[in-house]
Chains A and B, each alone.
Chain A
Amino acid sequence: AQKVTQAQTEISVVEKEDVTLDCVYETRDTTYYLFWYKQPPSGELVFLIRRNSFDEQNEISGRYSWNFQKSTSSFNFTITASQVVDSAVYFCALSDDYGGSQGNLIFGKGTKLSVKP
C-alpha cells in the first residue's frame, strides 16, 4: 500500500531561521513521483516540485531545497532563511500511477509552518 507520512504536525520558527519539513513515503513500485504542495491561508494548493524515482539529485530553488533519499524513503523540504510569507501548510504527496488517474496523488496530512517576525 502507498502511504505518505509527515510526522511534524506543526512547526513554529522565527523569521530567518532555517526549517526542514520531513516526508517519508511507502510504495512497492519502482517508478513513482513525489511532490510538495503549499497551502497558504487562502486555501488553494500551489504546486512546488515534482521528483521522479530515478532522479535522486537534490534540487534547489531560491530559498527552497529538497533532499530525496531512496535509501530512507524520504523526501525532505528545507526552507532557508524563512520568511513570514512562508507560513502555510505544506503537503508531501506520492503518485505511483502512470496514466489514467493522473491526479490520484496520495497526500500526507500536512505540516503547518508558522514563521513569526
Chain B
Amino acid sequence: SQTIHQWPATLVQPVGSPLSLECTVEGTSNPNLYWYRQAAGRGLQLLFYSVGIGQISSEVPQNLSASRPQDRQFILSSKKLLLSDSGFYLCAWSQTGSGPVGELFFGEGSRLTVL
C-alpha cells in the first residue's frame, strides 16, 4: 500500500532563517507531488506541483522553492523565512495519467511558526 510521510511535524523558526520540509512517498512510482499551504482561517493554497524528477511548477510567487531530487521525494525550502510563511504545510501525491484526478493523498502536515 502507498504511504506518504512528511517531516518535521512542527517547526518554530525565527524570521530570516532557512527552511526545509521533506516529503516522501512509498509504494508507488512516478507520482504527481504537491505542496499546499493552509493559513489560519483560509483554505488550502497550492504552492508547487511536480510531475517528475526535476520538474517543478510554481503556482504563486513567494520566497519559497521546491525541489524533487528523487522520484518520490519532494522538498520545500526557503533561504529566509518571513512572518507570513507561518502556516500548515501539506504534501500530497496523486496517480499520474491523463485527465483530472483530484484524489489526492495527503501527508500528516507540518506546522510552521515563524517568530
Contacts and interface: CB of A to CB of B under 8 A. Distances in A.
A117 interface: no
Interface of B: 32, 34, 41-46, 49, 57, 59, 88, 90, 92, 94, 98-109, 111
Contacts of A44: 90, 106-109
B61 to A, nearest CB: 16
Contacts of B34: 103
B102 A102 contact: yes
Nearest to B49: A101
Tell me the dominant secondary structure on chain A's binding face. Answer: loop
Interface of A: 4, 33, 35, 37, 42-47, 50, 91, 93, 95, 97-99, 101-105, 107-110
Contacts, number: 73
B88 A43 contact: yes
Contact of B94 (A91, A103, A108, A110): A103
B41 A50 contact: no
B43 A91 contact: yes
Contacts of B98: 99
Given A99-B98, A103-B94, A109 B106 contact: no
A35 B59 CA distance: 20
B52 to A, nearest CB: 13
A71 to B, nearest CB: 23
Contact of A99 (B88, B99, B104, B107): B99
